Structure 1
């Protein structure tokens, strides 16, 4: 198996709210939309973010675990500066993200903040000046 990820799929409760948040609010562009089913967004050179209606997700993948708290994963979007972290968080807030935590300096040396999409999936917006943080940035 090649060492890569091709799709990240998130189950969503309301596809219209999800579309408004990602496409209208954040300004992203869909590669594919099947109304009432899925929105697919190119999130990298070889990576698709797939936003799939919950009941269709459950029919194929299995029951979604529900309960209190945050799902035990984040999706990270790395940027080139702390100022960009703050700008992206402001953009997410304007798009209706809730909750949104302000960017802050982390003990490991980075600067990060978080927002939740309409289904509560947590996005980390991060500036990481270390070599591992730099390899994920697009070439300029």
Structure 2
């Protein structure tokens, strides 16, 4: 198998609400919009494997039950200020702040928000993975 993730598909309750959040709030540009699916080109991505209980602990949510689905998406930015800015934008646009931005154990700066369907997004500045 070639190492790549082609699609990450999020199940959403209301396509119009989610389209608004991702397009109008987070600023993603849809590549294709159909009646029952929307596609966004995301550029290069990384796949990380991390113990479930540690990911839940990092996000500050329970490992089982409501609030944690066993996966979090991550969006790295160029600075700590950008972490704060994106978390604010997401929260003001209908997302829920899950974990305020703070210094991490790995030397970066990160926080979490949930989209309108509860999908977790980590927003991080990581000095080990600089953005060009």
Do the aligned partners of 2:87 and 2:97 also contact (CA within 8 Å) in 1?
A: no
Q: CA deviation at 1:84?
A: 0.9
Do the aligned partners of 1:93 and 1:100 also contact (CA within 8 Å) in 2?
A: no
Q: Extract structure 1 runs of 4+ deviating beyond 4 A.
A: none
Q: CA deviation at 1:101?
A: 2.7
Within a 5 Å distance, the mapping from 1:92-131 to structure 2 comes to 92-130=90-128
Do the aligned partners of 1:6 and 1:46 also contact (CA within 8 Å) in 2?
A: no
CA deviation vs aligned residue, 1:65-100 (integer Å, no higher than 9, x gap): x94231111100001111110111111112111134
How far apart, CA to CA, are the structure 2 residues paired with 1:100 and 1:93?
A: 9
Residue in 2 that maps onto 1:76? 74
TM-score by length of 1: 0.75
CA deviation vs aligned residue, 1:30-74 (integer Å, no higher than 9, x gap): 001112x11110111589xxxxxxxxxxxxxxxxxx942311111
Do the aligned partners of 1:77 and 1:124 also contact (CA within 8 Å) in 2?
A: yes
Count of paired positions: 115
Which is richer in strand? 1
Q: CA deviation at 1:102?
A: 1.8
Q: CA deviation at 1:29?
A: 1.1
SS of 1:11's equivalent in the other structure is coil
Q: Which runs of 5+ in 1 are unaligned?
A: 48-65
How far apart, CA to CA, are the structure 2 residues paired with 1:86 and 1:34?
A: 33
How far apart, CA to CA, are the structure 2 residues paired with 1:45 and 1:85?
A: 19
TM-score by length of 2: 0.79
CA radius of gyration, larger in: 1
Residue in 2 that maps onto 1:39? 38
Do the aligned partners of 2:67 and 2:118 also contact (CA within 8 Å) in 1?
A: no
